Amino acid sequence: MILNAVKLSRSTNPLSRIIRFPRPIYNGSVSPPLRLLHDETNINGPNSNPVVLQMINYALSHARSQKSGESYGQGLLVLEQCLSTQPSEGQCAENWRGIALLAMSTLLYERGNFSEAIEKLQRAENLKQSSLGVRVTAMEAIVGLHLQSGEDDTSSVVADNCLGLLRRFKPESGGGDYSMVKARTNAVKGLVELIHGDIESAESCFKEFQENEICNGSAALSYGEYLHTTRNYSLAKEFYRKVIEVLAEKKDFSDLNALGSCNMALEEVSLAANFALGQLEAHMGNFADAEEILTRALTKTEEFFGSNHPKVGVVLTCLALMFRNKAAQERSSAILIQEGLYRRALEFLKAPPLESEGEETKIDRRDIVALARGGYGETLSVQQNRKGEGEKMKRWAEAAWRNRRMSLAEALDFSAPSNKVLVIDGRTSRAI
C-alpha cells in the first residue's frame, strides 16, 4: 500500500497533483469558449442583432480572460451598456434585453454574488413581452441557485411558478418549441423533487421523457439523473452521452428556448453531464472508465472555474468515493489515496472547523462537505492512532447531513443493503 502511494505521488496523473501539490492549470491569456448562455442557439435569422451579440460575447470573454474582480466588473459594464441600448418595447427587443440580463446574472454568479444574480434573473423573468424560452431560462436558473444555496422550499415555489407560467402561455406557432420548453419546465420541477428525495413526484415530472427527442441540455441531464437514481443505468448513460455530444457541437445561438444561465448554463451542464457519467461508470463497476472520466471532469473543472474553486472539491469528493467503493468491491485498500483526496476536497470546499456544530452552522455545499468529512472520518477510524479524530469527523458529518432519501452511511457505502444509489448533481452540488 505504501509503495502504491509512493508511485501515485510521483505520477503525472492529475490525481497525484491534486493530492500532493496542485497547481493552477488555467491560462488567463486564453479565453474559454463563448458558449455561456445557451444549450443550442442560432439567432442569426431575421431577428438577429449582431451588435448586441458581439457586446455580450466580448463581455463574457473579457470577464473570464483574467478571472479578476476588475475584469468581471468591466464585463458587467459592457453588458449594462448593451442593456441600455435596447428599445423598451417589442418581443425582439425584450428577448435581447433578457439575454443580456442572463449574461449579467451568470457573471455575478461566477463571482459568488448570488443575490444580485437572482435580481437580474427576476428582471428577465418579468419581461412580459419576451419569449417563453427567455423567461423559463431565468426561472430555471433561479431554481438552480436556490438549490445550490440549500433553500429548498424557495426552489420548490419558483419551480411551481414556472409550471404556472407554462400553463398560461399559448404557443404562437407549431408545437415543437413549446414541447421543448414544456419538457424543460417539467425537468426543473423534477430536479427539485429529486434533490428533495421524493422519487415518486420526480417520476411524474419525467413521465413524458421517454421520447428523448423532446429534451436536451439541462432537461436531458436531469432526466438522466432520475434514471441513474432509479438504477436504469443503460438509459441514463444514453442521456448523459446525448448531453455531452449535443453540447460539444453547439457553438452559437440557435434556439431561444434552450438558453442557460448561472449553474444551468451550457458549460456547467456539460461538466455536470461528464461528472454524472463518471459516477455512473463507478456504480456499474467500471472503475477504470470511471477514474478516467472523473479525472477528465476534474481537469475541465479546474480549467473553467480555476484550480482553487470549491467545485474542484466536489469532483475530488466523488473520486474519493469511487476509490472507496472500488477498494470494497475488489477487497483491496486505497486508504492513503482516499485520505489525500478527502483532505484536499475539504480544503477546496472551505469546510468549517470541527469545533463548529454541523447541524447549526451555515455551510456552503453542505451535502458535499458532509460526504467528504464523513468519508475522511471513515478512513481515519480504521487507523488506530487516529481513530478518535475520525470518530469526531463522523459525528460532525452525521449532524450536518440532511438528505431525506438516505442516511450518510448509505450514501458512503454503495454496497449497503438499502440498495440506494447516491448521485451528486454537479450543477447544484447537491446529493440526490
User: Is residue 362 classed exposed, middle or buried when 0-12, 13-18 and 19+ CB atoms within 10 A define those classes?
Assistant: exposed
pLDDT at 26: 31
pLDDT at 329: 85
CA distances from 259 to 133, 254, 262 (A): 7, 9, 11
User: Is residue 167 classed exposed, middle or buried when 0-12, 13-18 and 19+ CB atoms within 10 A define those classes?
Assistant: exposed
**In this structure, is residue 344 part of a structural domain?**
yes
pLDDT at 250: 66
pLDDT at 45: 53
Q: Please indicate, yes or no, whether residues 374 and 250 belong to a single structural domain of this protein.
A: no
Q: Please indicate, yes or no, whether residues 314 and 399 belong to a single structural domain of this protein.
A: yes
Residue numbers in the chain where pLDDT is lower than 70: 1-48, 170-176, 211-214, 250-258, 358-361, 415-418
Choose the final residue of a domain: 244, 264, 284.
Answer: 264
Domain CATH code at residue 164:
1.25.40.570
Q: How many domains does the chain have?
A: 2
**In this structure, is residue 421 part of a structural domain?**
yes
Q: Please indicate, yes or no, whether residues 325 and 374 belong to a single structural domain of this protein.
A: yes
For residue 107, report the phi and psi dihedrals to the nearest 5 degrees: -65, -40
pLDDT at 255: 53
**In this structure, is residue 304 part of a structural domain?**
yes
Domain that holds residue 382: 2-6+299-431
Q: Please indicate, yes or no, whether residues 304 and 256 belong to a single structural domain of this protein.
A: no
Q: Please indicate, yes or no, whether residues 336 and 212 belong to a single structural domain of this protein.
A: no
Q: Please indicate, yes or no, whether residues 151 and 80 belong to a single structural domain of this protein.
A: yes
pTM: 0.86
**In this structure, is residue 289 part of a structural domain?**
no
**In this structure, is residue 206 part of a structural domain?**
yes
Alpha carbon dihedral 412, 415, 417, 423, in 10-degree steps, equals 50
Q: Please indicate, yes or no, whether residues 321 and 239 belong to a single structural domain of this protein.
A: no
Q: Please indicate, yes or no, whether residues 308 and 246 belong to a single structural domain of this protein.
A: no
**In this structure, is residue 390 part of a structural domain?**
yes
Q: How far apart are CA 49 and CA 41, in angstroms?
A: 13
pLDDT at 170: 65
pLDDT at 212: 53
**In this structure, is residue 202 part of a structural domain?**
yes
